[in-house]
Amino acid sequence: MPRFAANLSMMFTERPFLDRFAAAAAAGFDAVEFLFPYDFAPEDIGDRLRGNGLTQALFNLPPGDWDAGERGFAARPECFAQVQDGVRAALPYAAATGVKRLHLMAGIAERRDPLAVAAFRKSVAWVAEELGRYGIDTVIEPINPRDVPGYFLNDFTFARDLIAELNHPNLKLQFDIYHCQIVHGDVTMRLREMMPIIGHVQTASVPSRNEPGSGELNDPFLFDELDRLGYRGFVGCEYRPRGGTEDGLGWFALHARPRGARP
């Protein structure tokens, strides 16, 4: 059975952010992820993790002004300094949480622009090398253009090829099942092909991005397939509950290993 991580930016939002850690633990999760921790002190987040016996699976490097539409800097040629500053800002949170993988967001840029491609390649290589000094993986995630129009990294094949080209041991693919189905389809075959480079998996139903099992995909089959492929990482639950978070956790009770069980 997969190791599920509750995404606290989308789940348990009935509560203030710092109270969501306890709610996730009470619901049976032993790991969490979220988009960004930067509105809170690193020690406060670390305390909530330890106090609830939770593992931090993932969070994102700083994206810029999220409310203004910024979605990272890595593919923006003029923003390499912001990429570097973002890593420096994230490291205290990595130390406080013990997280082992950080997501580098590409930003809004034209993927056919050679300057954007070169900027992304440079940023990814630098971040992977820098985070490698701390034993942290860098993950890059293709995102579908329906949810984030204009996002540079919108193709799983492009991400796969870049990871192979750069050949950094701590550079991995963040494979979001929801985004893959929208961009390409054929999720199972892509999981099988890309499993050697996958560092993190996320899930949500398609097309509504609600609880797994409520859309067009056979989510139980995909969870079993992850086991068959030998995936031992986390599966981030990056979905929007249709109602109250706890009311929609029937799928989790069916597919999750008991809290505290060994992988």
Catalytic residue ranges: 141, 238
User: d(Cα 143, Cα 106) in Å, to the nearest integer?
Assistant: 10
Cis preceding-peptide flag for 207 (omega within 30 of 0): yes
**Contact call for residues 101 and 199 (beta carbons, < 8 A):** yes
**Contact call for residues 73 and 79 (beta carbons, < 8 A):** yes
> Which of 56, 55, 29, 23 is closest to 257 using CA atoms?
29
SS3 228: helix
Residue appearing with tokens 């989308």? 10
**Contact call for residues 242 and 204 (beta carbons, < 8 A):** no
